[in-house]
Chain A
Amino acid sequence: MKPSGNSIATALGRQLKYFAGGLAALCAISLLGPTALIALGSEIDFAKARESWAFKPPKTVPAPVVTDPKWPRSEIDRFVLAALEAKSLKPVGDADRHALLRRVYFDLNGMPPKPDEVLAFVNDRSPEAFEEVVDRLLVSPQFGERWARHWFDVARYAESTGKERNFTYPNAWRYRDYVIDAFNEDKPYDEFIREQIAGDLLPARNGAQRNEHLIATGFLAIGPKGLNERKREQFVMDIVDEQIDVTSRAVLGLTVSCARCHDHKFDPIPTRDYYAIAGIFRSSETFYGTQGQQNRQPSTLLTLLTGSAAATDENFAAAVLSPARALNKLSPRPNQQRPGAAKKQQRRQAAPALVAASSGPASDAVTEHAMGVLDGRASDCPIFIRGEIDHRGEIVPRGFLTVLTTSQPPKIDPSQSGRLELANWLMSRDNPLPARVMANRVWQHLFGQGLVRTPDNFGAMGEKPSHPELLDYLASRFMDDHWSVKALIRSIVLSRVYQLSSADDKKNYAADPDNVLLWRTRPRRLDAESIRDAVLAASGQLDLTPPHGSVVAQVGDGYIGKGIKPRAFNADTNKRSVYLPIVRDLVPDILGLFDFAEPSLVVASRDVTTVPSQALFMMNSPFVSIQSEQMAKHLLELKDLDSAHRISLAYLRILSRPPNESEQTRAEDYLQQRAKGWPVTEGPTMVGTEAAWATLCQALFACAEFRYLR
């Protein structure tokens, strides 16, 4: 990197000043002058940098010996217990069976157990009872819906462009379904990542798999986009940047895009490396659709194989064995510089991307489209000094992160983008990060906090792991188990540490108030999706059939707020929350209120806030009111039950446990003394008794216990 001129030095200096520790750097710069400053960047000592824990390969260490050999149920437990024993602490007791069952249901399927499942488990004292529950939950279709949603947080999944002109993505849902299916099928995680980065370049057995691979690349296409950008080059580099950001943070837990304008301030990532990867993405073309007026940067979509072309292997074979070559011929020319003339723009809109083998039989179904990525015109990218497209520096050969490349990196075919090589390099066993990052995410979703508490930053500004050897153990085992996410989850939830109670302990608390050493289970608030799904499950209204498509697909293409009214997305649906329309800047109320992940950002862990607007939602929203009424109606329809049994059933459905005696009495008092004979108000279906029961159910939804896993 050899930009010149004082202005650059000043700009870099200003940036440096901004960061912690920047003052010292600033002094150094002013002493050394601009030339020296540039040298600073190229002076990253990669050998030294590789000594950071995160850049070393995971070590396989045997689980430590513990003083109390009776406590551990698995190797995981021995790592945890050894750390506790080192501080002379003891874990609290095991969780009671109601708490444990509710915990594992929400963690694995995002839904509460049914009342009969609660009772069956509580009464089943066989040693295998819990394992059987876990295995049942792992094969339930609800598992994929639950765990896909975790991935969507980091994949910034959404169905519109967001930003200054918000256009719909009516085909984003195909990527949604792909991810759900991948988790349900337990697709090996390395394959899952490879498909999302370079699915279009992978060989496929048949048309269906070809489609699946194309849809997977939607990962790179669903990001936010500033469609009002006039300069094509700027627009392209912003997309490239967004793709680098999501890929590096999701897969590697590193913030590579910090190096767009300057060498990374804290991590060994030079600007050179950034533009080496940028060259790969810039040699690809992103297809995201968006049609309509007032759109300066429309795009086309990928065309999927349909009908018999997708079904039969034979028709397909020849074209896909060397997919890259076939594609380069068939795909439209990549976008050049800015598409000056309107004519050209029209052409881009008109020509669909012909990715399907053209020899396929005439389509016997409606054409189907997907968002995704194909190789474009392959070329290396110049360094854009300070990230500014008007300041071109040296051209950098396409490549990968230097710090993570110790053995011979895959060679990039100059006629291709290099995405396939990037995907292979990312998920190679030599790469120390992806397995650790994913194992840590899984741990975080099961314990409320990762072993590394900064799940998308394993760099210098991130935190070090609380249990480094355990993390390495999980990462190695994850890779040994063919990157099976289900096997990883299973091994963790069957550990004893997962099954601890959330009881307090004075001594432990004094020594470790933040529970870093895992002496108990951290009480966790349900996420927004679980809250909604649990309300619907309790009311009996939850519709578990997955939808075909999405509300956004029904609404179609357009500019939200201009052509499309925001109201159009107010879906009256009782399907699971993962299927609600996720329109950027128009997230459904219930999700937004309970700290849903901002879909324009890569979100590795959500906030947990407690605010009155959540209380207002529980007290007053039509959603909670209606579901409470539905539930009351259903309870009252069970003619054989007396009110005591109805109260029990309400507790079981909402809190996954029966009430104790005083709770039972309190509820009966409420029904008889307080609420009896309440007048019929504006709610058209409510009568006195029903109103009383409805408000009781609503109170159970509103209470703190409903919202928490203990």
Chain B
Amino acid sequence: MKDLRGPYECCNIQPPTMTRRDMLKTVAAGFGYLAFAGLSSEAAAHQSSLTPKSPHFPPRAKRMIFLCMQGGPSQMDTFDHKPKLSADSGKAGLSKGGGSALIGSPFHFDQHGQSGLSISELFPNVARHADDLCVIRSMQTDIPNHPQAFVQLHTGSSQFTRPSVGAWTLYGLGTENQNLPGFITISPPMALGGAQNYGSAFLPAVYQGTRIGEQKANLAGASVSNIQNPRLTAEMQRHQLDLVRSMNRDLVNENSANPEVEGIIESYELAFRMQSEVPNVMDFSRESAATLTMYGIGESATADFGRQCLMARRFAEAGVRYIEVCHAGWDQHNNLKKAIGANCRATDRPIAALLSDLKQRGLLHDTLVIWGGEFGRTPDSRKEDGRDHNAKGYTMWMAGGGVKAGLAYGQTDDYGYQAVEDKVHIHDLHATLLSLLGLDHERLTYRYAGRDFRLSDVHGNVIRNILA
């Protein structure tokens, strides 16, 4: 052996001349064991942090799909019918600063299903599921600015960095399919808090969301990071992993009480399975043409969101705990009529398809589907064809997962300025989501910096009246 120095090794200590046998002799005394036993109990606990955990009480829903409508969809044009607003359209509005006029919805509402829920013509397909919906018309959040409200919707707080709802869920429940990430977010925005919206903050990183794609990028080519190795064939990689496994086994054999190495061994096996399972779940080739059509994949208006919804169904079916999909562009200060029409065209069919599909597969009863944005919109505006931000009263809806179906809960005033009956703050919504998943929001705590934190902070009441 002449030179043991690598290119970065600038020191001039010459390595002693050694034969391989000498070298082995030198190290034989030193190497030969590795004791990892008795890793702290914490380390051992992290080991199993993603395996399914018992909820606090029997859950109504096992998993959740959040249809995030970023921008603040207008409630009075979709799910909160305001006849008086239409009647008084054009009269002076009540918004601060004056100069605004009430704008009646340009869209027609009908009652649907047995429940007679009133839904506008913008959602003809979702309207067919009226009897599955639990519409909350009295939502409230703290700040009528997109960035803060978007982060608060996802983490409960815009003031401090806090874990996301999905991270709390994973922390509380673990996940059913270890071959897939437990919390997946599809096409999220990179602004408006970015990764904070699916981050784990002070919770261990294992609970953070796995991102697939990003807003405005084509979802068709997106996947989970590092899910494949283009340099190696599957066979080559299997040989390589067998080698890694054998190296790791050595460590375990030296000392059987070795939970961390066992964990690493397991993580490679999971990863190997994950890299076939993730592309499998994301592969639509075995979906029937009828299904693809139902979701609107193949038509330009609905293709992207249809793809997101179908992916969400496939992930839900495969046992992913928390899935979020995102449709942006609901911020209609101007051009309301045309733009909201386009948004609804892009999402109506995919959402309806998702509900039907979950139902026919027997998944809707224990999958909670939630629709809504960071806030809603005002009934008046200074512009002729627009609406402004409204944090005091807006609509979200849920379906499946143990909520009362065909129900409208809460009310806004006659025009839709603010919630006046059965108000539901975002903290109440979070408390309710956790409750549907079998978690008590007051007991789901994590100790950080000397105190126990909760998703709902010191707030939140479960909305008992919407539980089936």
Residues of A participating in the B interface, judged by any CB pair closer than 8 Å? 14-15, 17-20, 96-99, 114-117, 119-120, 122-123, 162-166, 224, 226, 228-230, 238, 249, 255, 258, 265-266, 449, 454, 456-457, 459, 461-462, 501-504, 509, 513-515, 520, 522-523, 525, 537-538, 540-542, 544, 559-562, 566, 585-587, 589, 592-593, 595-596, 598, 600-603, 607-617, 619-621, 625, 634, 638, 640-641, 644-645, 648-649, 652-653, 657-658, 660-661, 663-664, 666, 670, 674-675, 678-679, 681-683, 686, 691, 695-696, 698-700, 702-705, 707-708, 710
Q: A560-B190, A620-B227 are in contact. List 19 more A-B contacts (CB 8 A).
A: A98-B31, A164-B150, A255-B449, A456-B449, A523-B260, A538-B6, A561-B190, A561-B191, A562-B191, A585-B196, A612-B178, A620-B275, A644-B20, A657-B30, A666-B243, A681-B236, A691-B232, A703-B244, A703-B247
A648 CA to B452 CA, complexed, in Å: 50
B57 is an interface residue with CB less than 8 A from chain A: no
Q: Are the CB atoms of A249 and B449 closer together than 8 Å? A: yes
Chain B residues near A587: list those with CB within 8 A. Answer: 195
Q: Are the CB atoms of B243 and A670 closer together than 8 Å? A: yes
Surface stretch bound by A, among B9-17, B128-136, B301-309, B318-326: B9-17
Q: Are the CB atoms of B35 and A699 closer together than 8 Å? A: no
Residues of B participating in the A interface, judged by any CB pair closer than 8 Å? 1-9, 11, 13-16, 18, 20, 23-24, 26-41, 43, 46-47, 49-50, 145-148, 150-151, 158-159, 161, 178, 181, 189-196, 199-202, 204-206, 210, 214, 224-233, 236-237, 239-241, 243-244, 246-248, 250-251, 255, 257, 260-261, 263-268, 270-272, 274-275, 442, 449-452, 454, 458-459
Q: Are the CB atoms of A509 and B37 closer together than 8 Å? A: yes
A538 CA to B4 CA, complexed, in Å: 12
Please name 21 pairs of A and B residues whose Cβ atoms are closer than 8 Å in the assembled complex, sorted by A: A14-B459, A117-B11, A503-B35, A514-B41, A541-B8, A587-B195, A598-B199, A607-B46, A608-B43, A610-B266, A615-B267, A616-B226, A634-B6, A641-B2, A648-B1, A648-B20, A660-B32, A674-B243, A679-B233, A681-B233, A699-B240
Q: Are the CB atoms of A226 and B158 closer together than 8 Å? A: yes
Q: Are the CB atoms of B229 and A625 closer together than 8 Å? A: yes
Q: Are the CB atoms of B38 and A515 closer together than 8 Å? A: yes
Q: Are the CB atoms of A165 and B264 closer together than 8 Å? A: no
When A and B form their complex, which 7 residue pairs have the shortest distance between CB atoms, in order from nearest? Answer: A164-B147, A561-B191, A96-B30, A615-B271, A561-B190, A457-B450, A461-B450
Shortest Cβ distance from residue B435 to the other chain A in the assembled complex, whole angstroms: 17
Chain B residues near A559: list those with CB within 8 A. Answer: 191
Q: Are the CB atoms of A228 and B145 closer together than 8 Å? A: yes
Q: Are the CB atoms of A619 and B34 closer together than 8 Å? A: no
A691 CA to B31 CA, complexed, in Å: 29
Residue of chain A at shortest CB distance from B447 = A461
Chain B residues near A640: list those with CB within 8 A. Answer: 1-3
Chain B residues near A612: list those with CB within 8 A. Answer: 178, 267-268, 270-271, 274
Chain B residues near A686: list those with CB within 8 A. Answer: 231
Chain B residues near A561: list those with CB within 8 A. Answer: 189-192, 194
Q: Are the CB atoms of B158 and A163 closer together than 8 Å? A: yes
Chain B residues near A608: list those with CB within 8 A. Answer: 43, 46
Residue of chain A at shortest CB distance from B5 = A116
Shortest Cβ distance from residue A87 to the other chain B in the assembled complex, whole angstroms: 15
Known: A608-B43, A610-B263. A117 touches B2 (CB 8 A): no
A238 CA to B157 CA, complexed, in Å: 13
A116 CA to B23 CA, complexed, in Å: 13
Contact of B241 among A98, A619, A634 (CB under 8 A): A619
Chain A residues near B148: list those with CB within 8 A. Answer: 164, 226, 228-229
Contact of B229 among A461, A520, A619 (CB under 8 A): A619
A522 CA to B271 CA, complexed, in Å: 27
Chain A residues near B230: list those with CB within 8 A. Answer: 681-683
Shortest Cβ distance from residue B425 to the other chain A in the assembled complex, whole angstroms: 14
Contact of A119 among B2, B16, B146, B199 (CB under 8 A): B16
Contact of A457 among B151, B233, B251, B449 (CB under 8 A): B449
Chain A residues near B50: list those with CB within 8 A. Answer: 611
Chain B residues near A663: list those with CB within 8 A. Answer: 247, 250
A593 CA to B274 CA, complexed, in Å: 16
A15 CA to B454 CA, complexed, in Å: 12
Residue of chain A at shortest CB distance from B275 = A616
Q: Are the CB atoms of A615 and B229 closer together than 8 Å? A: no
Contact of B244 among A14, A679, A699 (CB under 8 A): A699
Chain B residues near A461: list those with CB within 8 A. Answer: 450-451
Contact of A163 among B23, B193, B247 (CB under 8 A): B193
A249 CA to B16 CA, complexed, in Å: 49
Q: Are the CB atoms of A703 and B248 closer together than 8 Å? A: yes
Chain B residues near A698: list those with CB within 8 A. Answer: 240
Q: Are the CB atoms of A707 and B6 closer together than 8 Å? A: no
A502 CA to B32 CA, complexed, in Å: 12
Q: Are the CB atoms of A504 and B255 closer together than 8 Å? A: yes
Q: Are the CB atoms of A610 and B449 closer together than 8 Å? A: no
Q: Are the CB atoms of B23 and A560 closer together than 8 Å? A: no
Q: Are the CB atoms of B20 and A501 closer together than 8 Å? A: no
Residue of chain A at shortest CB distance from B214 = A566
Residue of chain A at shortest CB distance from B41 = A514
A210 CA to B226 CA, complexed, in Å: 47
Q: Are the CB atoms of B11 and A592 closer together than 8 Å? A: no
Q: Are the CB atoms of B30 and A98 closer together than 8 Å? A: yes
Known: A116-B15, A682-B230. A503 touches B40 (CB 8 A): no
A134 CA to B428 CA, complexed, in Å: 56
Q: Are the CB atoms of A658 and B24 closer together than 8 Å? A: yes
Shortest Cβ distance from residue A657 to the other chain B in the assembled complex, whole angstroms: 6
A165 CA to B191 CA, complexed, in Å: 7
Q: Are the CB atoms of B29 and A96 closer together than 8 Å? A: yes
Q: Are the CB atoms of A504 and B37 closer together than 8 Å? A: yes
Known: A114-B6, A230-B145, A707-B264. A163 touches B161 (CB 8 A): yes
Known: A454-B450, A619-B241, A695-B236. A98 touches B8 (CB 8 A): no
A14 CA to B457 CA, complexed, in Å: 11
Q: Are the CB atoms of B5 and A115 closer together than 8 Å? A: yes
A525 CA to B200 CA, complexed, in Å: 21
A255 CA to B449 CA, complexed, in Å: 7
Shortest Cβ distance from residue A243 to the other chain B in the assembled complex, whole angstroms: 14
Known: A15-B458, A585-B195. A704 touches B29 (CB 8 A): no
Q: Are the CB atoms of A610 and B243 closer together than 8 Å? A: no
Shortest Cβ distance from residue B373 to the other chain A in the assembled complex, whole angstroms: 15
A119 CA to B148 CA, complexed, in Å: 57
Chain B residues near A229: list those with CB within 8 A. Answer: 148
Known: A165-B191, A616-B274, A652-B4. A602 touches B449 (CB 8 A): yes
A462 CA to B226 CA, complexed, in Å: 39
A265 CA to B32 CA, complexed, in Å: 52
Q: Are the CB atoms of B226 and A620 closer together than 8 Å? A: yes
Q: Are the CB atoms of B40 and A449 closer together than 8 Å? A: yes
Q: Are the CB atoms of A616 and B240 closer together than 8 Å? A: no
Known: A164-B148, A611-B267, A616-B225. A660 touches B28 (CB 8 A): yes
A613 CA to B268 CA, complexed, in Å: 9
Residue of chain A at shortest CB distance from B181 = A613
A116 CA to B247 CA, complexed, in Å: 24
A255 CA to B202 CA, complexed, in Å: 15
Q: Are the CB atoms of A601 and B161 closer together than 8 Å? A: yes
Q: Are the CB atoms of A502 and B40 closer together than 8 Å? A: no
Shortest Cβ distance from residue B225 to the other chain A in the assembled complex, whole angstroms: 6
Chain B residues near A538: list those with CB within 8 A. Answer: 6
Shortest Cβ distance from residue B262 to the other chain A in the assembled complex, whole angstroms: 9
A681 CA to B181 CA, complexed, in Å: 29
Known: A226-B148, A619-B268. A525 touches B204 (CB 8 A): no
Contact of B34 among A562, A610, A675, A705 (CB under 8 A): A705
Shortest Cβ distance from residue A660 to the other chain B in the assembled complex, whole angstroms: 6
Shortest Cβ distance from residue B443 to the other chain A in the assembled complex, whole angstroms: 12
Chain B residues near A670: list those with CB within 8 A. Answer: 239, 243
Q: Are the CB atoms of B192 and A164 closer together than 8 Å? A: yes
Q: Are the CB atoms of B204 and A595 closer together than 8 Å? A: yes
Q: Are the CB atoms of A619 and B237 closer together than 8 Å? A: yes
Residue of chain B at shortest CB distance from A599 = B161
Residue of chain A at shortest CB distance from B210 = A613
